[in-house]
């Protein structure tokens, strides 16, 4: 009998994996060999190891570009092996560490290259990966925020959409995410996070912090909306498939997502997790949004109803636009070609696209 958790993963996640850099043939080959959920992380890790070995051999041969591409692909595979694998924390943490290491190796070899930035925050630090487009700076910059089960290691293809349009990117692990998961739990108020990140970006001479946008996906879409509601001087915000009220959807979430939320919110029981979920709401905050806001929702989203986005747009007080895709799933990953580039254009128009950037003028 097939493991229902594996069946759920395969049925729901292929569009997301492929949209974010996993080769479709890799997805089919790896998942076809997984019979039990307990084998998920190991199977993806083995495939990642193979790409990491190709990176090593390419680097030894002097082929830095290929080495970076192979290590970036390895990072994707490690990440997608561990992203909801919270029932085995040892495996999950080891896979995450390998994902971080692989992408760190790749950063200087990517086109354009990237760098790690340590952002001082509440006695510790958050990590952001910064990449800047070709041409003279300082560049307008977009802060990219992952969701409950994603991290900055997932964002290579998202970064490309902005970089190709002349915008720098800062892919962030915030509280409860990736490299920051061990120090801070999930939190509803992201204004302090935004303040810390903006203060750090202001120290980078190739970035223009007078022109900052935010893009967030899933629970990161909620965080993006909370930043839009704060007085941070942002130019524009995109919220992709985020909840308005996380608690309203919590009981209907699949067990893998519920378990991951409980772990990353540091909730000791199901009741405590539901209480933490109730803290994640835009009620009392949405009406404070005056910066331009673009909300993207899929009408076939099984996690958060598209009406959550409709409500957010209705309550925002500034320019607020809803793109609702009738066939779109969670994250609209199955229609990514219809919104990722246009959303990057929407942000570029509001941040001030450099004259030498690609895309529409």
* Active site residues per annotation: 218
Q: How far is CA 204 from the centre of its chain?
A: 22
Interacting residues of 23 by C-beta distance below 8 A, sequence separation 6+: 73
CA separation, residue 320 to residues 46, 103, 314 (Å): 44, 35, 8
Please name the residue that has the structure tokens 């997301």.
Answer: 16
Interacting residues of 247 by C-beta distance below 8 A, sequence separation 6+: 274, 277, 278, 280, 281
346, two tokens: 């929407």
Q: How far is CA 343 from the centre of its chain?
A: 15
∠ CA 338-339-344, rounded to 5°: 130
As to burial, measured by CB atoms within 10 angstroms (0-12 exposed, 13-18 middle, 19+ buried), residue 203 is: exposed
């Amino acid at each position: 009998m097939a493991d229902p958790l594996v069946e759920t993963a395969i049925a729901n996640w292929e569009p997301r994996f492929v949209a974010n850099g996993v080769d479709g043939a890799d997805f089919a080959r790896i998942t076809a060999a997984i019979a039990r959920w307990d084998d998920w992380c190991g199977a993806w890790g083995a495939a990642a190891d193979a790409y990491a070995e190709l990176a090593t051999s390419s680097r030894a041969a002097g082929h830095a570009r290929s080495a970076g591409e192979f290590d970036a692909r390895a990072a994707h595979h490690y990440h997608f092996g561990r992203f909801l694998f919270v029932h085995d924390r040892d495996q999950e943490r080891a896979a995450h560490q390998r994902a971080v290491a692989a992408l760190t190796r790749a950063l200087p070899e990517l086109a354009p290259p990237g760098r790690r930035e340590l952002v001082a925050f509440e006695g510790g630090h958050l990590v952001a990966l910064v990449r800047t487009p070709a041409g003279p700076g300082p560049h307008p910059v977009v802060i990219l925020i992952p969701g409950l089960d994603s991290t900055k290691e997932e964002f290579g293809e998202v970064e490309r959409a902005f970089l190709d349009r002349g915008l720098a990117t800062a892919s962030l692990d915030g509280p409860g995410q990736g490299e920051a998961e061990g120090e801070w739990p999930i939190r509803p108020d992201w204004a302090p996070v935004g303040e810390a990140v903006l203060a750090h970006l202001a120290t980078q001479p190739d970035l223009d912090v007078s022109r900052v946008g935010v893009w967030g996906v899933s629970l990161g879409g909620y965080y993006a909306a909370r930043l839009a509601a704060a007085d941070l001087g942002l130019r524009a915000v995109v919220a992709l498939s985020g909840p308005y009220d996380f608690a309203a959807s919590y009981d209907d979430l699949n067990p893998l997502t519920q378990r991951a939320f409980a772990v990353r919110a540091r909730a000791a029981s199901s009741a405590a997790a539901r209480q933490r979920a109730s803290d994640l709401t835009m009620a009392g905050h949405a009406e404070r949004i005056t910066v331009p806001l673009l909300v993207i929702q899929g009408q076939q989203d099984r996690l958060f109803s598209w009406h959550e986005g409709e409500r957010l747009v209705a309550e925002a007080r500034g320019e607020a636009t809803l793109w609702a895709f009738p066939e779109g799933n969670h994250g609209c990953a199955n229609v990514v070609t219809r919104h990722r580039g246009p959303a990057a254009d929407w942000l570029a128009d509001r941040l001030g696209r450099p004259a030498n950037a690609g895309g529409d003028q």
